[in-house]
């Protein structure tokens, strides 16, 4: 059932937009009920993910069975000693039982430790594998297929949902296997005394281990699914609040956002309370069934004692054997109670993993162009739209850029400039047309190969919460200290870095927020210079720089362009006199093209933009 569209302002703020500013729709998550067929499919897929760890799971299950078996052995031998000692037999008759008590007492502790160690080791290794598996599935989908999700929702899936699967492997998968092994053992043990005893105990164990879990699952299904959904919404709201705290405070939405978080917290607490009530109820019913099973076994066994078919001492053994055997089935109601939460979390993960990538990888290995000479770039009739409901972002774009040439693409906001960069980097796939690098269509390249020969300076560069040096080395990990400093000097960043407390080892903070916008942009330029790629794409490369620094950086960028095929995407008409051709885009189409002096003579859109910019700077 689809959720109703929320009316809270922050959820409207969370609506997704692509790089051109077009709205792609609200980021409202749809949670479907866990139907039995779909739930089984999800469960089987989760089991396949755990298949590489089957040996550890098997050993943990055996250790769990040995723990319960040792507990049964400890209780039954203890009951036998106490009951037998009441008859004052010779100590020799109790020797075996005494040794058994010692053995089972020690074995129970050892097996319990071994079971906990094995199960948690397998579980933590499996969760680590799931995180890597999910992130690997995310990479081919980025950014096109992930634009419909809020960052907080993705964070919830990769953290909270995967952690929820811990219940599946620790509380759902292993306990039933242990219960089956213990039930089979008790069947043979009780059957050796009297078949009626085995049947009575097996029925009681089945009621506790099967009927009660089914009841607990039916009662806990809405709460379990709701907890996953509300937890996801709460995480997304918290991430929105942290990332947008400045805007929230500036526009007076801080208190309203706090109220939304409180409301989500109250919903989550209510669902958790309901799960707690269900857990308490199933615990009480489990205890009731255990006591009824004990009474039933006694009712069946007492006539046998009266008829001398059973020894009277066996009654004490049977009572404690029944009670201790329930240790294997008592976790089952809680296991089924958490099953729906695990299946819902698994479904949310598979919902993303199963998404079809917007871009298909190259069909085979293609020779990468020589890095020492910039390859040619050719675009023919390039046509693209982000969704079928939206207008064309690019319509019939054509240009040819010779090896080592320089081309500038300018135009007002929304003209399609950034869309061209996204298509060149294969973040999206174009509908019609052809894009060639060195005579080969970019669809023939593997994404990694293609992006390895393209260096990009974007307007919004992400800086990681690491040091300046580590952020620079992302472009080329093998770069030496001289390469780092030379790139920083070219980007007019070196002197600033030396003024920092720890120089190049200074941490830049989350998203580089410890640096100013201009400093972040210069760091991005330096990172691209270190990459030393044969194709250079400058997407608003000098944005956020002051006029003096912009002129200095442009001089360095012009030097960096030498020998490289360069595409300049900008709305700031600075330094374009040195490019070979300028394309002026309007609404995804080429409105004008030519060199700077030719476009100025046309007195068209380019000339108007240049004059407006000159007036703004004067």
Peptide bond before residue 143 is cis, with ω within 30 degrees of 0: yes
110 has pLDDT over 90:
yes
Q: Which two tokens stand for residue 271?
A: 């669902």
Distance of alpha carbon 512 from alpha carbon 7, whole angstroms: 33
Q: Which two tokens stand for residue 422?
A: 């996204």
Strand partners, 288: none
Region of residue 178 (left: phi > 0; alpha: psi -120 to 50; beta: else): alpha
113 or 304: which carries more pLDDT confidence? 113
Distance of alpha carbon 512 from alpha carbon 520, whole angstroms: 7
3 has pLDDT over 50:
no
Q: Do the beta carbons of residue 588 and residue 556 sit within 8 Å?
A: no
Region of residue 521 (left: phi > 0; alpha: psi -120 to 50; beta: else): alpha
Mode of pairing for the β-strands spanning 23-25 and 565-569: unpaired
Q: End-to-end distance of the chain based on CA atoms, in angstroms?
A: 59
Token look-up 């009572």 returns 319
Query: Which DSSP string do the residues of 405-434 spell out, in sequence order?
Result: -EEEEE-STTSSHHHHHHHHTTSS--SEEE
Q: Cβ–Cβ contacts within 10 Å for residue 571, how many? A: 16
% of residues, the chain, pLDDT over 70: 89
Residue 227: its H or E element: helix 212-243
Q: Give start-end residues of each CATH 3.40.50.300 domain in the chain.
A: 377-617
Distance of alpha carbon 123 from alpha carbon 368, whole angstroms: 42
Nearest to 433 by CA among 460, 463, 396: 396
Range of weakest confidence among 6-15, 71-80, 352-361, 591-600: 6-15
5 has pLDDT over 50:
no
Q: Do the beta carbons of residue 491 and residue 541 sit within 8 Å?
A: no
Contacts of 50 (CB under 8 A, 6+ apart): 57, 126, 169, 173
Distance of alpha carbon 359 from alpha carbon 442, whole angstroms: 11
Distance of alpha carbon 303 from alpha carbon 127, whole angstroms: 53
Q: Give start-end residues of each CATH 1.20.1560.10 domain in the chain.
A: 55-353
Distance of alpha carbon 169 from alpha carbon 58, whole angstroms: 12
Residue 101: its H or E element: helix 91-138
Distance of alpha carbon 23 from alpha carbon 488, whole angstroms: 37
Contacts of 541 (CB under 8 A, 6+ apart): 457, 459, 521, 525, 553, 557, 568, 570
Q: Do the beta carbons of residue 380 and residue 433 sit within 8 Å?
A: yes
3-class DSSP state of 277: helix
The architecture (CATH level 2) of 55-353 comes to Up-down Bundle (1.20)
Q: What angle do the packed helices 517-531 and 481-490 form, to 10 degrees?
A: 130
Residue 272: CA count within 13 A, CB half-sphere = 8
Q: How far is residue 536 CA from its own chain's centroid?
A: 32
161-166: average pLDDT: 81
Region of residue 476 (left: phi > 0; alpha: psi -120 to 50; beta: else): beta
Residue 367 has a pLDDT of 58
- Using 50, 70 and 90 to split pLDDT, how confident is the model at 65? very high
581-588: average pLDDT: 90
Q: Cβ–Cβ contacts within 10 Å for residue 194, how many? A: 19
Distance of alpha carbon 209 from alpha carbon 231, whole angstroms: 29
Is domain 377-617 given the CATH code 3.40.50.300 in the classification?
A: yes
Distance of alpha carbon 531 from alpha carbon 94, whole angstroms: 80
70-75: average pLDDT: 92
Contacts of 360 (CB under 8 A, 6+ apart): 429, 443
351 has pLDDT over 80:
yes
549-568: average pLDDT: 77
Q: Which two tokens stand for residue 574?
A: 């600075």
Helices (H), 362-500: 417-424, 447-452, 468-473, 481-490, 494-499
Range of weakest confidence among 57-71, 135-149, 394-408: 135-149
Token look-up 């770069």 returns 479
Q: What pTM does this model have?
A: 0.70
Residue 54 has a pLDDT of 85
Residue 305 has a pLDDT of 84
354 has pLDDT over 60:
yes
Distance of alpha carbon 222 from alpha carbon 1, whole angstroms: 13
Q: C-alpha distances in angstroms, 448 versus 159, 222, 430, 453, 525?
A: 27, 44, 18, 9, 21
Q: Cβ–Cβ contacts within 10 Å for residue 390, how many? A: 13
- Using 50, 70 and 90 to split pLDDT, how confident is the model at 20? very low
Residue 13 has a pLDDT of 35
Q: Which two tokens stand for residue 365?
A: 């290995």
Burial classification of residue 392, based on how many CB atoms lie within 10 Å of its CB (0-12 exposed, 13-18 middle, 19 or more buried): middle
540-569: average pLDDT: 76
Range of weakest confidence among 35-49, 95-109, 238-252, 443-457: 35-49
C-alpha dihedral sign at 508, 509, 510, 513: negative
Q: What angle do the packed helices 174-193 and 54-85 form, to 10 degrees?
A: 40
Q: How far is residue 37 CA from its own chain's centroid?
A: 25
Instruction: Tell me the average pLDDT of the chain.
Output: 82
Phi, psi of 134 (to 5 degrees): -70, -40
566 has pLDDT over 80:
yes
Q: Which two tokens stand for residue 125?
A: 């290794």
3-class DSSP state of 475: coil
% of residues, the chain, pLDDT over 90: 15
Range of weakest confidence among 33-42, 78-87, 413-422, 529-538: 33-42
Q: Cβ–Cβ contacts within 10 Å for residue 492, how many? A: 20
- Using 50, 70 and 90 to split pLDDT, how confident is the model at 363? low
DSSP strand E in 86-165: where? none
Q: Do the beta carbons of residue 574 and residue 551 sit within 8 Å?
A: yes
- Using 50, 70 and 90 to split pLDDT, how confident is the model at 123? confident
Distance of alpha carbon 354 from alpha carbon 372, whole angstroms: 40
The model's pLDDT over 320-345, given as tens digits with 9 standing for 90+, comes to 999 999 988 888 877 777 777 788 88
């Amino acid at each position: 059932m689809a959720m109703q569209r929320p009316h809270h302002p922050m959820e409207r703020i969370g609506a997704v937009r692509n790089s051109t500013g077009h709205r792609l729709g609200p980021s409202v998550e749809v949670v479907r009920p866990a139907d039995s067929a779909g739930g089984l499919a999800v469960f089987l897929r989760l089991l396949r993910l755990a298949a590489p760890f089957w040996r550890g799971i098997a050993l943990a299950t055996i250790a769990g069975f040995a723990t319960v078996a040792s507990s049964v052995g400890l209780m039954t031998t203890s009951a036998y000693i106490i009951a037998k000692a009441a008859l004052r037999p010779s100590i020799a008759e109790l020797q075996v039982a005494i040794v058994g008590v010692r053995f089972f007492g020690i074995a129970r502790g050892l097996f319990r430790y071994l079971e906990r160690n094995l199960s948690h080791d397998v579980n933590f290794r499996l969760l680590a594998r799931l995180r890597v598996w999910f992130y690997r599935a995310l990479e081919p989908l980025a950014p096109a297929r992930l634009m419909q999700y809020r960052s907080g929702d993705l964070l919830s899936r990769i953290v909270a949902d995967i952690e929820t699967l811990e219940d599946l492997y620790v509380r759902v998968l292993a306990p039933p296997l242990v219960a089956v092994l213990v039930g089979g053992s008790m069947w043979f043990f009780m059957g050796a005394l009297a078949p009626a005893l085995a049947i009575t105990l097996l029925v009681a164990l089945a009621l506790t281990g099967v009927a009660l879990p089914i009841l607990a699952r039916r009662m806990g299904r809405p709460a379990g699914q709701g907890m996953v959904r509300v937890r996801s919404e709460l995480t997304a709201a918290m991430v929105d609040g942290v990332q947008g705290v400045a805007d929230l405070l500036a526009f007076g939405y801080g208190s309203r956002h706090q109220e939304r978080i409180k409301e989500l917290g109250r919903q989550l607490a209510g669902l958790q309370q309901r799960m707690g009530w269900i857990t308490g109820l199933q615990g009480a019913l489990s205890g009731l069934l255990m006591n009824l099973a004990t009474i039933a076994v006694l009712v069946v066994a007492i006539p046998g004692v009266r008829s001398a078919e059973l020894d009277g001492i066996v009654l004490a053994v049977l009572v404690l054997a029944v009670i201790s055997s329930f240790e294997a089935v008592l976790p089952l109601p809680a296991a089924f109670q958490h099953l729906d939460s695990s299946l819902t979390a698994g479904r949310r993960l598979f919902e993303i993993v199963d998404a079809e990538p917007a871009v298909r990888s190259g069909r085979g290995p293609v020779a990468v162009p020589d890095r020492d000479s910039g390859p040619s770039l050719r675009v023919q009739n390039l046509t693209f739209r982000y969704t079928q409901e939206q207008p064309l972002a690019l319509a019939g774009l054509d240009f040819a850029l010779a090896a080592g040439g320089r081309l500038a693409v300018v135009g007002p906001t929304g003209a399609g400039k950034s869309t061209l960069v996204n298509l060149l980097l294969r973040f999206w796939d174009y509908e019609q047309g052809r894009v060639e690098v060195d005579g080969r269509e970019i669809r023939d390249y593997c994404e990694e190969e293609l992006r390895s020969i393209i260096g990009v300076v974007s307007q919004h560069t992400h800086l990681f919460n690491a040091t300046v040096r580590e952020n620079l080395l992302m472009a080329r990990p093998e770069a030496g200290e001289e390469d780092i400093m030379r790139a920083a000097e070219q980007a007019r960043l070196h002197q600033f870095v030396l003024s920092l407390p720890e120089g190049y080892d200074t941490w830049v903070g989350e998203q580089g927020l410890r640096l100013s916008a201009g400093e972040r942009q210069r760091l991005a330029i330096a990172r691209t210079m270190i990459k030393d790629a044969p194709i250079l794409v400058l997407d608003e490369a000098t944005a956020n720089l002051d006029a003096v620094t912009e002129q200095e950086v442009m001089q360095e960028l012009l030097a960096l362009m030498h020998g490289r095929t360069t595409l300049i995407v900008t709305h700031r008409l600075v330094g374009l006199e040195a490019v070979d051709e300028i394309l002026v885009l309007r609404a995804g189409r080429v409105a004008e093209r030519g060199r700077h002096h030719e476009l100025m003579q046309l007195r068209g859109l380019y000339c108007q933009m240049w004059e407006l910019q000159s007036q703004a700077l004067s």
